Amino acid sequence: MGTLTEKVANILRVESEAIELAAGRLDPGSVENVVGKIMDCSGKIIVTGVGKSGVIAQKIAQTLTSTGTVAVFVHPSDALHGSLGVISKGDVVIALSNSGETEEILHLLPALESRGIEMIAIVGNVNSTLARKSSAFLDASVDKEACPLNLAPTTSTTVALAIGDALAMTVMGEKGLTAEDFAANHPAGRLGKRLTLKVGGLMHESPNVRADAGWIEVVKAISGFALGAVNVVAEDGTLEGIVTDGDLRRTIEQVSTENLANLNAREMMTASPITASPEMLAYDALRLMEDRPSQISVLPVVDGGQRCVGLVRLHDLVKSGL
pTM over 0.75: no
Task: Give per-residue pLDDT as tens, 177-188.
Answer: 877 777 666 665
pLDDT of the residue at 135: 94
- Partners of residue 116 on adjacent β-strands: none
In Å, the largest CA–CA distance within the chain is 97
Query: Any idea which architecture 199-319 has in CATH?
Result: Roll (3.10)
Domain boundaries, the chain: 4-177, 199-319
Task: Give per-residue pLDDT as tens, 207-238.
Answer: 999 999 998 999 999 999 999 999 999 999 99
Question: Between the CA atoms of 263, 265, 267 and 270, what dihedral angle is there, to the nearest 10 degrees?
Answer: 150
User: Per this entry, what is the length of the chain?
Assistant: 322
Task: Give per-residue pLDDT as tens, 232-268.
Answer: 999 999 999 999 998 888 888 888 877 788 889 999 9
Q: Give the fold, CATH level 3, of 4-177.
A: Rossmann fold (3.40.50)
Instruction: Check for a shared fold between 4-177 and 199-319.
Output: no
Mean pLDDT, the chain, integer? 91
